[in-house]
Amino acid sequence: MEVQRKVLTPEQIESFWKDGVICIRQLYTEDWVTRIRAFLDDIVSRPSPITGPRDPSSKFHSDVNTWLTNDEVRDLVLYGPGASVAQQVFQSDRVIFYYDQIFVKEQLAPAPTPWHHDFTFWPLEGNQIASLWASVDPVDAESSALEFVIGSHRWPQRFRAIGADGSDFSTGETLEEVPDIDADRSKFDIVSWELEPGDALLFHALTLHGARGNRSVHKKRRAIATRWCGDDVVYRPGKAMEFYRHDLKDGEPFSAPVYPQVYPGLIPEQICARLAGPVFPDPEILRTTLQRASRLNRVELRPDPAVIKLQASRPVDPA
């Protein structure tokens, strides 16, 4: 499959570093939008092994690492325009894919996305870390447009990692509370965009962002974020929940079969397992993560027990 590239202007690259977020109009072709729409609906009805069975009454659906089990998401990651735009803002020799996350807010889904930055959730260190977020539905303030605090990626603070459901992913570090931005929004330089399907937002891992619930009676807001890293990113264990086995050691350049190099090209021995079939979470790591989560009584994850059993005897990752 041919890799899609999109050329950013020098102004867009400069704005990314100055503001911490840019809007890239019509990044995804109509064909990609159709495919993304189809796989988002598919994932909502058949969640990944990490997320497990869904609560049918919920109007908010999130899932992670779906590229490892869904071939359509895999193709978007490996052959879509994400790696190309990340490379241009990072100006790096290599671009590594970290993971994908879906955020589907149905009509009148009340849940806001609390203000946060992503950096403190992730076992990474470096400055070349960004997410590419896009919705396959038109988005406006009513239908849960993402909002960003301009320039917050240049602030010195690192904030507590609180998930959308209130789960606290912060580890031993001393982290500050995210400021109460909604208490006085005039103190902050907040930006958001009305988007059409195909448009995308590229934002730095330290940029504070959030969204209100979906107040639209008519519009769903079906979105996917893909997360990308450049040359300066290293692995820092213990910062977040992990689900997959890899051989990365503290401080090593961030890349592994479950975090593959995509730019300047795939590395055959790294990507072969995923091209050969789905890659499931490591049962042992998943169990430990779940035990930790339930011990802390912080996070509710409901992986599909059948998948854990199925995978118990299957090596996940040849690295």
In the complex, minimum distance from the CB of residue 146 to ligand AKG, in angstroms, rounded to a whole number: 6
Q: What's 160-181 look like in SS3?
A: CCECCCCCECCCCCCCECCCCH
In the complex, minimum distance from the CB of residue 309 to ligand AKG, in angstroms, rounded to a whole number: 31
Query: Does residue 120 bind ligand AKG (CB under 6 A)?
Result: no
Q: Please provide residue 211's backbone torsions phi and psi, each rounded to the nearest 5 degrees.
A: -155, 150
In the complex, minimum distance from the CB of residue 252 to ligand AKG, in angstroms, rounded to a whole number: 25
Question: What character string, x for contact with ligand AKG (CB under 6 A) and - otherwise, covers 182-221?
Answer: ---------------------------x-x----------
Nearer to ligand AKG, 61 or 245 (CB): 61
Name residue 195's beta-bridge partners: 139
Cβ within 8 Å of residue 53, ≥6 positions away: 47, 302, 304
Nearer to ligand AKG, 223 or 307 (CB): 223
Cβ within 8 Å of residue 249, ≥6 positions away: 235
Q: Which residue has the tokens 């979906």?
A: 214
Choose which of 76, 149, 161, 225 interacts with ligand AKG (CB under 6 A): 225
Nearer to ligand AKG, 21 or 308 (CB): 21
Name residue 125's beta-bridge partners: 234
Choose which of 84, 131, 261, 311 interacts with ligand AKG (CB under 6 A): 131
Distance CA 44, CA 36 (A): 12
Name residue 26's beta-bridge partners: none
Q: Which of 251, 129, 120, 242 is nearest to 173 (CA)?
A: 120
Query: Does residue 103 bind ligand AKG (CB under 6 A)?
Result: yes
In the complex, minimum distance from the CB of residue 210 to ligand AKG, in angstroms, rounded to a whole number: 7
Choose which of 119, 133, 254, 263 interacts with ligand AKG (CB under 6 A): 133
Q: Which residues bind ligand AKG (CB under 6 A)?
A: 101, 103, 113, 118, 131, 133, 146, 209, 211, 223, 225
